[in-house]
Structure 1
Amino acid sequence: MTIIINKYYYFLLLLVFPLTNSVYAQIVIGTPTLSFSQICANPSFNTFSVTFPFSPVSGLNATNQFIVELSDPNGSFAIPTTVFTSIAGAITVSPATVTFSVPVTTAGEQYRLRVKSTSPSATSPNSIAFAAYYKVQDTPFSINNFIPTATYCTGGSYVLNIDNPGAATNDSPLKYPSLTYKWFKEPSLTPIATGKSVTVNQPGKYYVETNYGTCTSNSYSNRVTVSESNSSAATTITSSLGNPFCSSASATTLITVAGNSYQWSKDNVAIAGATSQTYVTNQPGQYSVTVSFGSCVANASINLQGYQFASTINVPDTNTIAPDETLEVIVTTAASSPEYKWYLNGTIISGATTSTYDIQTKGNYKVVITQTTGCVASKEYSFVVNSSIDPNPFPNVANIPNLVSPNGDGINDTWVIPQEYVSGTNTKVQLISSLGEIVLDTNDYQNNWPENGNDFKNINPIYYYIITTQDQKVNKGSITIVK
């Protein structure tokens, strides 16, 4: 009898133990608490935390793992994304805080989190909704190839595109297919489009941002001013290196609005082959472009100037100095590491390499200042220095002398005639020997005949003069040479 009872006792124990395990191997996970109001992740920051309570702690099995799941952008867990899984048995204290990262495709305003356990199996309520974005591209980018203006014909439209790949400095968001966009027309903050491009038919300033919702972002484009054009419309030309530009460093790119065809000109002369939206040059000048939009044409011009540093010179274009006078010429400049070269009558003056030069000789002068660092550029000043000697240095005699005594005593050594006939009056002076030989024929008489005063073979030779003025008045007579 005793043996029979023991058999029933063991049978009851086998039934009770499974029931006991079923009753006590359960836990409840509370609503997750977020440590953030929104998630704005990027390649250099993608770590966030969530805290959740669970009870009872004793209900956990040694193999239990906690799993944090992320909903879709609308808050649905139909197809959740696992963002965290704990090591088996690692979490044994409530509340627990874990960290996680979001996928690079995360983008939406209604995400939620929930926590699940594996042993025993349990699921928390959903967290509150939050915005979450992974900013895979978070730098400025370009539209319209960085060209700041665009034009459409009256009644037409213009398409603005995000550049891909764009210019060399452009990190195009089109490289990331998961991204969406928001186009704006200033000053409104209401998006007008969400695609990779937008067609506009109203004048205004447009730009686009990558759609990162309420997250602050540096992923935005340049502004483009779109205008409506008619047959007499004018557009603009911009220089990639600014205006003035450093022509000695590299060429600048002239850019105009997008159109159907183009023709560039320099100084009102069409440039052969210059029929693109841009024109590259390192030459200053007056540039213009005619842009055809099909049903209308626009024109633009720019006075492209080369870089010049500030400088001055302390003398006018024309200067006069006395025979014993010195003219101090000084140039001042804002050029970096300037070099100076001085010239007289087109020839460089040896040793003249400073900002000042003392002049004692008449002539045509020039100084060239060169900036040798930064933008290498030169500037020159030209000026004339005259002598203050009487412009008519010849003595004013009343009559034409008929006697010359070239004996070196300083009296009547040369034939000195009135000032109205000498150099500068364009008077023709001729001297003819008694044998009929012309010994002097000039329109620039210097009161210097005879220059070889003692070289006379005959005693007291006689010469005949003919003086013809510019207005054809004639004086004739004779000269006797007395030794």
Structure 2
Amino acid sequence: MKKSNSTYSILVLAFAFMLLGTFGIQAQVLYKPEPAVNPNLGGNVAWDAICASSEFNQYFVGFNWDPPLVASNNKFILELSDANGYFSNPTELASVSDKNQVFDFVFQFALPSDIRGDKYKMRVRSTSPAKTSPASDAFTMYYIDYKAPLLISENGSGNIPSGGKIQICGGGSVTLKPHNIPNAGTYIYNWYRSGTPLAEKTESITVSDPGMYYVELDYGDCSGSANTMSNYIEISTGNSAGLAINGASSISLCPGETHLLQANISGEGLTYKWYKDGAVVSGPTVDGSSFTVDAGTSGFEGSYKVEISGSGVCTELSAPVTVSNSSSFEITLVNEENIVLLPAQTKTLSVTTSASNATYQWYKNGVAITDATSNTLNVDTIGEYYVTVTDSGGSCAPAPIASATTKVVSPQSFEFVVDYIGTYGSCESVDATLSLTTINAVGSNGSKTDVTTDLQNSFGYQWKLNGSNIAAETAKTITVSNQEENGAYTLIGTLDAFQATSNSLQVKLASKETLQITANGTVFCEGGEPIVLESTTDLTNESFEWKKDGTVVNTSSQNLTVSGPGVYQLVITSNDCPLVSNQVTITAFDESLLVLDKSKDLIIIEGETETLTASGADSYEWYDAGNNLISSNSYYDFSEEGEYLLIATFGTCTVSKVITITYRDMFAIPNVITANGDGINDLWVLPNTYSRDPNVLVTIFNERGEQVFSQAGYENNWPQSTTSFNKQNMIFYYKVTRGGKSLKQGTITVIK
């Protein structure tokens, strides 16, 4: 009869376990993973390289392992190495927890988007027991996240030259770089010159040799499917004509002066382009070999260059000529920010300058102030002030230069800004520090001027909590460290007739207390003793919530009787902040939590002892057939036949298992002998379990119940040669005992 596949699998598994038990092999064997066929594509060939993308990213790996079985909570995890084939920081590709009795299965995975390389390996790891398979062979794996042609230009500027041509003069070089790919620095590149691969793999290359240059992304064996080949840049070379700008390399001009910059190569229909600080200021112009710098124009100072191009010449850029302002000097108004002037106050303005021979004139609201000709000025009225500085010691004709303007204002009011100092989290921190950060003077038009530096030491301060003064808190900073002081804090400041009020800051400190809950068990079972959660804190006058899995289940009971598996927690509202307890996790009861290291139907050899060990429970009780407690250990040594009861306790739950112990018969006790002297079956021979044991007594009775033989440590020597039998067939009765307890009994038929 042909066996079904399931029957065949069971037989194979049973045979495997038999071999494992015979030879003492206890460890699982994990084999290296292998590429597998994608069942969704209809083919029958496994992949040999991975070229994944957003359009397709579904791959399969086959894996097999040998018993013994793994634990029921085991996971098999498929891991990927780094690009060099090392597993120091592996990437998890997939995991399964439902294959713990399946010895040959496949993982499905998607390739992560940052994987690019030719040396990736895979392996499989089990969690219970913790074992790792050998690594797979190395494979090409690329996630192709960019699949468009690259565009290259000089320095990645995005300006592709006309005709794709760049000319290099006088042994120079040019840097080529793609400009249309995001995160360009994360890729590997293949650069080519006139069809020949170059050694460079970087984002950019600097070249000086002529040729046709182009690039593609290096996706290894997957490069062809990405279609990233770039445009071509043709590099040509030529000889330098020695272009330069005539005259000195550094020129200084006075205000109103002009200077003509002249290229040393002119005429011949060449095209000129003039640059200032890298930006084009003139051209391209045919025969425009000169450029005029006008010092009367603001911002004329800078670095100037000229570029020539044209038929028969190499495009070339000159060295720079620096043009500066001869009469320039620095002016710094010390009080550039607006100044707040209180009644009866005087403020001093001052200026610094780099002029070698400076003279000064101060102005108020655009009008010169009489006799205000020094580098400082005392002011006692509001207005806009600035100073002009003239340097009569330079090479140019003196010209006054004005400083920045300072506005002196009289405030209509003041505004305080307070903020938290350091790290503060509402209902998280156990203390908080608040401080004055800004004092603003507020003008009549609502404008604000920061006067913190000038006035922070002039104000008197008072902190308030919920509108009431806090005793002795009269500094700019306050520290709150008591949860009972939670509330709204403001700072009041007084200066002469002014009073400033700050913004309000809410302080909600977490309790410094620890809230602890306990349970009389953590395993929930229907019909078992109730699991009760208790708190170490008296909840009588508290506002509280018992929560299960984050959902409120009770708000009134001091203790909570658990309704089912879940994560339980107690939250007390203390001074507007939650005080959160520890978590207690209640798990569902499962009889499989009780594990026996051997079968509950145990066969032992009579006269020997076999130990059965239980695990997983909190406590154990072993009972014999008379319901007598015989052990409270996790194990028991069995030596007698019979039925036993094991009760294992898991918190408030129990599991009962009946243990059946039977003797293994080495061979049957014979019930017929032929005492005819032929040397065959003449003696009644007992198994070794009962013979030659001084503690075992063998007794034989005739059919009338009379004892005819009795021997301790039976020597397999009955009937003896002197024994006579008066009938052809006689029946005897035997009894085998140990310590007065019957082990075996039956009949013996003697045939003459």
Alignment TM class, shorter chain as reference:
0.3 to 0.5
**Superposition TM-score, scaled by structure 1 size:** 0.42
Given the two structures, how large is their TM-score scaled by the length of structure 2? 0.28
Pick the structure with more strand per residue.
2
